Amino acid sequence: MGLGERGGWDKSESRYCGVETEFDDDVPRLLSFNLSSTGFDFVVAPLTDPTYRPSLIEADNASSHVPPFAGSDLVLSPAQWSSHVVGKISSWIDLDSEDEIVRMDSETTLKQEIAWATHLSLQACLLPSPKGASCANYARCVNQILQGLSNMQLWLRIPLLKSDDDLPDVDSDNLMDSWELWNSFRLICEHHSQLSVALDILSTLPSVNSIGRWFGEPVRVAIIHTDSFLTNARGYPCLSKSHQKLITGFFNHSVQVIISGKPLHSIPAETIGSAANHTDNNMNSTLRHPLRSYLDYVGYLYQRMEPLSEQERIELGYRDFLQAPLQPLMDNLEAQTYETFEKDSVKYMQYQRAISKALLDRVPDGEASAATTVLMVVGAGRGPLVRASLQAAEETGRKLKVYAVEKNPNAVVTLHSLVKLEGWENVVTIVSCDMRLWNAPERADILVSELLGSFGDNELSPECLDGAQRFLKQDGISIPSSYTSFIQPITASKLYNDVKSHKDLVHFETAYVVKLHSVARLAPTKPVFTFNHPDYSTKKNNQRYKKLQFEVPRDTGSVMVHGFAGYFDATLYKDVHLGIEPSMATPNMFSWFAIFFPLRQPICVQPGSPLEVHFWRCCGSAKVWYEWCVTSPRPSPIHNSNGRSYWVGL
């Protein structure tokens, strides 16, 4: 049934809501009561009678004994088992118990229940939370199971809990941070991609920074307990503002909600309706599910969310999808790639603003009718910057002579058609040549280019513009005039697992373009490399080295760094800028996603411990590449030494 739709368009997994139930050996009745009549989409149900203990079975009956599972596999169709039932592993199991009988019973039961769930083709099983800080045997056993699983996900139940160590009178030896529990467990299980988190949402929440870590972790479900709900003026359940914000954040990350616990709100029969004022006219109040008002409130939160913008819908398929960066110097771009970038009207509006300002500075009003400005578009593609330049000239009343320099012979064909179609033959000269090799017939007043990559200089803008600079007048203007790259440490469990799945070194030493979504940004960005144009320094060198230190806020707790997100910000001309650095990103621009530099081994950073990272931009005769490493809190290997795995060809 789902929680509804946002703006009439929705394909998110988070629109499905589940309910945690008690053991019931009549599974069809359990489904009928919780799904058919109420609007829940799936149940999280125990698979085995909670009183079952393998050690209590008589030894002589053990070989023929059948565990007390909840009904036969035949009571539901395979599609019903798969779509509507999540298996809840017995909550009593304790694989790290001091008691050997408990430990052995726990291991036997866990394996029996997972085997039964696999037989039923369940999509997921909910594992109980580890009983103590030590969970090595539990994790070992789960890791064994994961090696043999085909498609089923295992959700480890973890309470969303972190004591505030800034509070007075708190015993620092007994601080509880449940993220540490999850981190230990997943490290023992080697970051297995089928091991996920089911977060128990309690009545009190940790700090915003502490919660933020979980958005980079593989959280599949949020279990909200009925005692986490407050009561509104009409007697209905509702959530605090901070809980609302958390649940909305989870909805945006395709996390499903499960409601758990007994009803704690007595709603008068005569006012029965939903907390969101959507009365269910088809339901007799006597058949009403006891948790219906909680479901209605969660549905209300879901439907209240802003619908996705058109840009967000377009980008949905790119979220957390790793792409190799473009090699525009080595490769000629395809028409489809050009078309995608040309649709970014915001980018070209910024360029037009910058060119207009440069023209006004270059030619005073008194000389506008007589002076002709020579403008060169280097890397003209199919002509969007040529168009922006001519529109700027028209807007400012300045005369232009445009050279459109493009090395891709296929794009040059389109350029010729555009010039002819628009009647620009007397204004625009098309040059089919690499800008680094062209001998210009005259010098330019303004040099315009769009050679920037996600990390600013990663598509070799410095090298290209150094080559083109020789045909810019000594007092000429380059648009852009400068650009700076930025990085920040991130938790990105999905990205890390996607890189790891290739099982080789090369992919861990490659920088990827990616629309970051399920990530936790652990500290503010810091600038890395800056390039200025034109650059008339006598010892010109595009090699760079930068050492950076990041401090993760103390109230965040420990964090796992899977790599670094990279961005850029460019000054086109004077106060006209464009970029993707999060704190000053140009709104509604989609030409660039962030870049991701992975770490071969994720690094755990403790509260208050600095994270020190080193980045190099290296230049050879035929290629440019980056190298990176971490030196604190522990050293990592140098990534991509000598450009052995990833480089950009000159």
Active site residues: 450, 459
By CB atoms closer than 10 A (0-12, 13-18, 19+), residue 140 is: middle
Q: Which residues contact 222 (CB under 8 A, 6 or more apart)?
A: 198, 199, 201, 246, 247, 250, 255, 256, 257, 258
Angle formed by the axes of helices 241-252 and 292-304, nearest 10°: 70
H/E stretch holding 619: strand 611-619
Name residues whose C-beta falls within 8 Å of residue 494's C-beta, 6 or more positions apart in sequence: 218, 320, 518
Tell me how far apart the alpha carbons of residues 479 and 532 are, in angstroms, rounded to a whole number. Answer: 10
d(CA 163, CA 179) in angstroms, rounded, equals 11
| β-pair partners for 618 | 625
Task: Indicate if the alpha-carbon torsion angle 469, 471, 475, 480 is positive or negative.
Answer: negative
Would the CA dihedral through 259, 260, 264, 270 be positive or negative? positive
* Residue pointed to by tokens 């920037």: 452
Q: CA dist 2 to 41, 112, 354, 621, Å?
A: 6, 32, 48, 58
Coil, helix or strand at residue 636: coil
- State the Cα–Cα distance between residues 629 and 612, nearest whole angstrom: 9
